[in-house]
Amino acid sequence: MLTLLGACLLALLGLSALGVTGRAPRVVFLGCAAAAAGFGLAAAIALTGDGMAATALPVGPPWAPSLVALDPLSAWFLLILAVVAVPALLFAAASPAPPPAEGAAFPLFLAGMAAVLVAADGFTLLLGFELMSLASWALIAARHPTGVGRRTARLYLAFAAFSGLCLIAGFALLAPAGLGFAAIRAAPPEGWRAAMVLILVLLGAGSKAGLAPFHIWLPLAHPAAATPVSALMSGAMVKVALYVMIRLLLDLPGPAQPAWWGLPLIGLGAATALIGALRANLERDIKAILACSTLENMGLIVVGLGLALVFRGSDLRPLASLALAAVLLHALNHAGFKTLLFLCAGAVASLAGSRDPDRLGGLIHRMPWVAGCAMLGAFSAAALPPLSGFASEWLLLQSLIQGWRVAEMSIQLIAAGTLAVVGMAVGLAAAAMVRLLGLVFLGRPRTPRAAGAPDAVGMMRVALLLPAALSLLLAVLAAPMLSLTGGAIRQLLGANALAPVAGFDLVLGDAGARYAPWAVALLLALAVGLTWLAVRRRSSLAPTREPAWDGGFMPPPPHLPFGDPLSQVSAMGLGQPIRRSLGRVALAIRERHYPAMPGDPATATLRVDTEDRGFTQMLYPLARLRRRLSRRAEALRGRTLRINLSLAFGTLVFLLALVAWLERG
């Protein structure tokens, strides 16, 4: 096991060295894919058989060797990493050669994430975490020498430094005895120390996972990178942050933590889910839409995590395991369909030449494979039965509904409110996915480039089909997959905790609710098929093609081959109802309407500027404060030599006086 992991990690380092030279990028990416598959293999072994106990490495900080281990929790997330990485890397190998810096940073990115997952002491974990941040930043910066992308990279790096430092502080308070996980478990923190740990971990890992209000970098940074990187960031990196959260909040502090620990997570998670789903309906860049949907899903997952903490704190182990199962399963499902969606978006961007929905449309005719995969992914993301997204969100909603079993009325009310918010987020996600599909793949092409786009072929198509097949598998076999997490659940909730699984169904032990994905899929297929047969038996006429009725509009003039572009709803137009009704929850919106003057041939226009409240209410004020303080500090510099001398003199005199005074007292 150790040899396998070590071989993969070393291989990654070697590949990054090869990547520096910029030669043979395909080799680099395929090699990374192999290494990622190796991780997946190790994870599978650890999940089915037994993992790896904490082992000391020859390298490490001066005061103690680094420890690595592979327990069920790590293995589960390592599996997620592999699930995302393999298709993404195949896609990368199928794409044109990137700049050398990217070829060098990509393996390091993978290695960093893997290091976080297998680390068994704080230093190694922090090392991997920072490596992950740094490499992913390099991946963004390498693509954007100038312009907005550069500012994005800067913002991302600043947030990365912030989360790293917060995690360091969190460990500092968590581990008075030593950084080894075993030592921390032996002496769990209590009282205000524990509370500080909670806050710092929420700041550190939370900002990495995109929790509000530290989500603002995510919708900018994830789309800025190359498509495979975006897939890895959205599918795997946020999960690594989630893993850190679980490790530091659920595992290391021990089971003795109070129930209220979950409440901040629930609140932040719900807010994040709402904001993310809302923004997903308003973005005008397909990859940004997907990044916002990542926010939504992370929000849901964190809500589940909070519920698990609440239930565990109030001694409702079965419910805690239910919520935890929802968390773990949704993490995996989201990895599957988000990778699929990002790769589809990348295929569209590279083949149809744009990421702006207003320059796409009607792609289903030209790229049926991509469209099919995208629909599958979108349906999963919209949590439609019987696809994978629904199974895990069913678990999550059930655990929210079960929130009333906690004796605290306040928690019951919070659960109800959260349920409402989560439901809203789920609805918004569905709306966003419909908007995405409708704008990109359905309707009429909006540009000639979109009308002439080729379909994905070769390895790119394989890279799309892989996660698609996986999502389908996860949809039907949700229960068996979930039973693999039994080890992790026992590890976190005690020996008698069980995954809410019975055979091929997901069940709630006492509440008697049950979801059988296979049955639903079967019945649905049956219903659709029978309906189709019946209808076709009664009416067998082949359909004919005519110009669209279009509510009576005249057919477009010949110089508009794809019809009148103005008579097809735009991205903003589709977002308008939601923007009007909910937009201001998450965004500061400025709408300006320029009406067409009588006799003026110009068309009337509506100009909408939106900015996330995270910027306007948090980041900008902080930046102003920082500027003011640095101006203060700078004022000290512009002094003459004699002032500086007198500063030294004053310090001396002050200290002398202080000593004299202290010796009196």
Contacts with another protein, 89-128, as mask; x by CB under 8 A: ------------x--------------------xx--xx-
Stretch that binds another protein, among 208-216, 243-251, 307-315, 652-660 (CB under 8 A): 652-660
Which residue from 17, 148, 186, 531 is in contact with another protein, where contact means CB under 8 A?
531
Give yes or no for a contact between 321 and 489, defined as CB atoms under 8 angstroms apart.
Answer: yes
> Interaction with another protein in 584-643: which residues (CB under 8 A)?
626-627, 629-634, 636-642
Site map 172..211 versus another protein, x via CB under 8 A:
xx-xx--x-------------x--x---------------
Structure tokens of 459?
A: 């390895």
157 binds another protein (CB under 8 A): yes
Q: Which of 83, 106, 87 is nearest to 13 (CA)?
A: 106
In angstroms, what is the minimal distance from the CB of 464 to another protein?
Answer: 18
How deeply is 502 buried, as exposed, middle or buried, from its count of CB atoms within 10 A (0-12, 13-18, 19+)? middle
| DSSP H or E stretch at residue 416 | helix 409-440
Residue of 421, 463, 468, 499 interacting with another protein (CB under 8 A): 421
Q: Is 527 in the site for another protein (CB under 8 A)?
A: yes
Among residues 575, 586, 587, 619, the one that binds another protein under rule CB under 8 A? 575
Of residues 554-573, those binding another protein (CB under 8 A): 563, 567-569, 573
- Which residues, in sequence order, are CB contacts of 71 under 8 Å at separation 6+? 46, 51, 487, 488, 491
What is d(CA 295, CA 4) in angstroms, rounded to the nearest whole number? 33
Asked if 130 is part of the footprint of another protein (rule: CB under 8 A), the reply reads: yes
Instruction: Calculate the CA dihedral of residues 532, 536, 542, 547 and round it to 10 degrees.
Output: -50
Stretch that binds another protein, among 88-96, 229-237, 356-364, 474-482 (CB under 8 A): 356-364
Q: Which is nearer to another protein, 80 or 117 (CB)?
A: 117
**Cβ 79 vs Cβ 42: under 8 Å:** no
Q: Nearest 5 degrees, angle CA 183-CA 186-CA 188?
A: 105
Establish if 359 lies at the interface with another protein (CB under 8 A). no
Compute the least distance from the CB of residue 47 to another protein, in Å.
28
507 torsion bin: left (phi>0), alpha (psi -120 to 50), beta (else)? beta
Among the candidate windows 86-94, 247-255, 527-535, 587-595, which touches another protein by CB under 8 A? Answer: 527-535
Site for another protein in 206-235 (CB under 8 A): none
Q: How far is the CB of 178 from another protein (least distance, A)?
A: 9
Measure CA 523 to chain center: 33
Q: Which range of residues in 316-324, 331-339, 394-402, 488-496 is near another protein by CB under 8 A?
A: 394-402
Q: Within positions 30 to 69, which residues make up the interface with another protein, using CB under 8 A? A: 58-63
Q: How far is the CB of 550 from another protein (least distance, A)?
A: 4
d(CA 142, CA 430): 34
Quote the distance between the C-alpha of residue 462 and its chain's center: 23
Residues 32, 239, 444, 474: which binds another protein (CB under 8 A)?
444
Of 186 and 494, nearer to another protein (C-beta) is 186
Name which of residues 502 to 521 contact another protein (CB under 8 A): 508, 510-516, 519-520
- Look up residue 603 and give its amino acid: T
Using CB under 8 A, which residues numbered 323 to 352 contact another protein? none
Query: ∠ at Cα 147 (145, 152), nearest 5°?
Result: 85
Q: 71 and 51 in contact (C-beta within 8 Å)?
A: yes
Rounded Cα–Cα distance for residues 111 and 13 (Å): 8
**Options 29, 109, 171, 342; binder of another protein; rule CB under 8 A:** 171
